[in-house]
Amino acid sequence: MDLTVRYMRCSQCEYLQTEFPYWLDRAYASSINDSDTGIMARNSTNFRVVLATMMAMGNFHQRVVDFAGGYGILTRMLRDIGVDALWSDQYSANMLARGFEHAGEPADLVTAFEAFEHFVTPAAELDRMLAIAPNVLLSTEIVPRPLPAPGQWWYYGREHGQHIGFYSVNTLRLLAASRGKHLISDGRLYHLITENKLSRTVWRACMRAQRLVPAFARKSLHSKTFEDHLRFVEKAERSQ
Q: How far apart are CA 151 and CA 94, in angstroms?
A: 33
pLDDT band (50, 70, 90) for residue 227: very high
234 CB neighbour count, 10 Å cutoff: 10
pLDDT band (50, 70, 90) for residue 59: very high
How high is the pLDDT of residue 31?
A: 64
Q: How far apart are CA 69 and CA 53, in angstroms?
A: 18
pLDDT band (50, 70, 90) for residue 54: very high
Mean pLDDT value across the chain? 93
Domains, the chain, ordered by start: 39-142+167-239 (3.40.50.150)
Burial track 217-230 (b if 16+ CB lie within 10 A, e otherwise): beeebeebeeebee
Across residues 13-27, what is the average pLDDT?
Answer: 92
Decide: 13 and 167 in contact? Cβ < 8 Å. Answer: no
Q: What is the pLDDT of residues 151-210, one digit of tens each?
A: 899 999 988 889 999 999 999 999 999 999 999 999 999 999 998 778 999 999 999 999
In DSSP terms, 190 is beta-bridged to 139
Selection from 70, 74, 81 nearest residue 36 by Cα: 70
pLDDT band (50, 70, 90) for residue 34: low
Q: What is the pLDDT of residues 83-128, one digit of tens each?
A: 999 999 988 899 999 999 999 999 999 999 999 999 999 999 999 9
Task: Give, for 137, the enclosing helix (H) or strand (E).
Answer: strand 136-139
Q: How far apart are CA 67 and CA 94, in angstroms?
A: 12
Across residues 125-149, what is the average pLDDT?
Answer: 96
pLDDT band (50, 70, 90) for residue 13: very high
- Checking if the pLDDT of 26 tops 90, the result is no
Q: How far apart are CA 199 and CA 205, in angstroms?
A: 10
One-character DSSP codes across 62-114: -EEEETT-TTSHHHHHHHHHT-EEEE--SSS---SSTT-B--S---SEEEEET
Sign, CA torsion 43/88/102/171: positive
> Does 29 or 56 have the greater pLDDT score?
56
Task: Give, for 219, the enclosing helix (H) or strand (E).
Answer: helix 213-220
Across residues 117-146, what is the average pLDDT?
Answer: 97
- Checking if the pLDDT of 23 tops 90, the result is no
